[in-house]
A and B are shown apart, each in its own frame.
Chain A
Amino acid sequence: DAKTTQPPSMDCAEGRAANLPCNHSTISGNEYVYWYRQIHSQGPQYIIHGLKNNETNEMASLIITEDRKSSTLILPHATLRDTAVYYCIPQEWGGGNKLTFGTGTQLKVEL
């Protein structure tokens, strides 16, 4: 499984875009990049995933570099409720996957 590196913490002002980076330089060709978040004392929540094209849904956008060695999760207008730990997880399609969480990024959205 690919290893990931994420900054331990980030701050963002409410209403501004939050850009959360993830380095996954050892990702293999058939591994997708999944993003989850965990709000304090709740179960993790799926956000978005992608393979090589940029993706957008109602929660966020995902930008994956052309070489696929890194990605950025974008929350376009962060709110206080987006304060959470964000996890970037490579996951192989069609395999007997382990959904393995790294240490993630603690995003704090402030007024």
Chain B
Amino acid sequence: DTEVTQTPKHLVMGMTNKKSLKCEQHMGHRAMYWYKQKAKKPPELMFVYSYEKLSINESVPSRFSPECPNSSLLNLHLHALQPEDSALYLCASSPRQDLEAFFGQGTRLTVV
């Protein structure tokens, strides 16, 4: 299995909702990443987990809360988002933090 699987593919949520994005990989990778991508812009790094510990937080607002329950799974919990948080959210994994990364197809999030 050489895939990074993200669910759901699309999500529409209200500003008062709580939702979660899920990312899964079964390649034995020990680094996992969350990115945010707005239209016509490059992906922006949000969080990096290395060996299930948070390694990098790029000063992301607390309404985004990452979680790495085990080495195969990465979640992004969303609460009280704003319309400007609407974007494509990409998950990636790599064997370790300095090696090539494999990306999922993303979750397209719309905040209404």
Chain B, 46-66, CB within 8 A of any chain A CB: 48, 50, 55-56, 58
A65 contacts across to B, CB distance below 8 A: none
Interface size on B, residues (CB 8 A): 23
Q: Which residue of A lies closest to B88 (CB)?
A: A41
B92 within 8 A of A: yes
A106 to B110, CA, bound (A): 26
Q: Are A95 and B42 in contact (CB under 8 A)?
A: no
Cβ-Cβ contact count across A and B, 8 Å cutoff = 54
B100's partner among A38, A49, A96 (CB-CB below 8 A) is A49
A91 contacts across to B, CB distance below 8 A: 98
CB distance from A33 to the nearest CB of B (A): 12
Q: Are A43 and B105 in contact (CB under 8 A)?
A: yes
Give 1 or 0 for each of A74-111: 1 = CB within 8 Å of chain B CB: 00000000000101000111111111111110000000
Q: Which residue of B lies closest to A95 (CB)?
A: B98
A54 within 8 A of B: no
Q: Are A99 and B42 in contact (CB under 8 A)?
A: no
Which A residues are closer than 8 A to B by beta carbons? 34, 36, 38, 42-46, 49, 85, 87, 91-104
Which B residues are closer than 8 A to A by beta carbons? 4, 33, 42-45, 48, 50, 55-56, 58, 90, 92, 94, 97-98, 100-106
